């Protein structure tokens, strides 16, 4: 067998347990808590308790609630047939879970995306877009240009009384409906939810509307 040392390193250290949602949320809360002015010495050398204890502080706990809407969970490229819920809120004042997605893959290739909205806007209308980037890394995708490959507008329904949300919508997107189908590069879902009587174009300047985006994801699974 002839092998490259770099590839061997990758092969033998390929198993990494997935970060659970709580860990990601705590990390975000810790990073953005802003309570420290500098990093004096390594945490462990100073005898500082592990992160999980430090961020149990009330201030950090309060931030966790807000961060819950911001952080993504699970893997980003999705090796499994289905990934856990993902969510991210970029602009708006809803505390938790306005939007989440479920990716279904078949042999690595994306076959469908389940999209769910649970909003605190009564009778909201939603504009949902899928954008495509030729970038191969997330950072490049965020910084680079994108092309809208799918767009739809939907009206929400009133959820059951047991729900804390005022409006909801669920649907399934199929890559075959997107312009160009399933391409290489990265995709992202962007959405805007508006109150009745508000246009999507003015959503960001109107208080009470929400907008957000999913994490970047691959369609081909490569």
Q: Give min distance, CB of 183 to another protein, in A.
A: 19
Q: Give min distance, CB of 25 to another protein, in A.
A: 11
The residue among 139 and 161 lying less far from another protein, judged by its C-beta, is 139
**Which position among 21, 51, 57, 204 is part of the footprint of another protein (CB under 8 A)?**
51
In 3D, which of 138, 69, 129 has the Cα closest to residue 100?
69
161 binds another protein (CB under 8 A): no
21 binds another protein (CB under 8 A): no
- Alpha-carbon gap, residue 222 to 219, rounded angstroms: 8
Q: Give min distance, CB of 158 to another protein, in A.
A: 30
Q: Give min distance, CB of 9 to another protein, in A.
A: 4
Q: Give min distance, CB of 213 to another protein, in A.
A: 8
Q: How far is CA 10 from the centre of its chain?
A: 27
- Alpha-carbon gap, residue 188 to 185, rounded angstroms: 10
Please tell me what DSSP assigns to residue 164. S
List C-alpha distances in Å: 119 to 5, 65, 78, 164: 51, 16, 26, 9
- Alpha-carbon gap, residue 177 to 150, rounded angstroms: 7
**Which position among 21, 23, 114, 123 is part of the footprint of another protein (CB under 8 A)?**
23
Strand order in the sheet with 210-213: 89-91, 210-213, 186-194, 125-133, 147-155
32 binds another protein (CB under 8 A): yes
The tokens describing 199, both together, are 């246009």
- Cβ pair 133, 185 in contact under 8 A: yes
# residues near another protein by CB under 8 A: 53
**Which position among 21, 57, 75, 208 is part of the footprint of another protein (CB under 8 A)?**
75
- Alpha-carbon gap, residue 84 to 124, rounded angstroms: 26
Q: Which stretch binds another protein (CB under 8 A): 72-80, 93-101, 116-124, 167-175?
A: 72-80
Q: For the segment 106-145, give every residue that binds another protein (CB under 8 A).
A: 137-144
**Which position among 21, 27, 108, 154 is part of the footprint of another protein (CB under 8 A)?**
27
The residue among 128 and 141 lying less far from another protein, judged by its C-beta, is 141
- Alpha-carbon gap, residue 117 to 128, rounded angstroms: 11
The residues that touch another protein, with contacts defined as CB under 8 A, are 1-6, 8-10, 12-13, 16-17, 19, 23-24, 26-28, 30-34, 36-39, 41-45, 50-52, 70-72, 75-76, 88, 90, 137-144, 215-216
């Amino acid at each position: 067998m002839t092998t490259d040392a770099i590839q061997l390193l990758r092969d033998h250290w390929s198993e990494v347990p997935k970060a659970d949602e709580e860990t990601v949320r705590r990390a975000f809360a810790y990073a953005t808590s802003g309570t420290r002015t500098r990093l004096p010495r390594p945490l462990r050398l100073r005898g500082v308790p592990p992160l999980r204890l430090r961020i149990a502080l009330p201030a950090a706990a309060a931030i966790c609630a807000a961060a819950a809407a911001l952080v993504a969970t699970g893997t980003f490229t999705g090796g499994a047939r289905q990934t856990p819920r993902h969510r991210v809120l970029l602009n708006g004042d809803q505390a938790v879970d306005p939007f989440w997605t479920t990716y279904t893959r078949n042999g690595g290739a994306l076959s469908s995306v389940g999209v769910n909205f649970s909003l605190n806007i009564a009778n909201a209308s939603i504009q949902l877009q899928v954008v495509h980037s030729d970038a191969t890394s997330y950072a490049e995708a965020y910084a680079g240009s994108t092309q809208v490959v799918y767009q739809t507008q939907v009206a929400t329904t009133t959820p059951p009384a047991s729900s804390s949300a005022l409006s909801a919508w669920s649907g399934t997107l199929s890559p075959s409906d997107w312009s160009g189908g399933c391409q290489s590069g990265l995709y992202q879902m962007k959405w805007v939810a508006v109150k009745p009587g508000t246009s999507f174009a003015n959503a960001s300047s109107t208080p009470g509307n929400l907008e957000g985006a999913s994490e970047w994801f691959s369609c081909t699974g490569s």
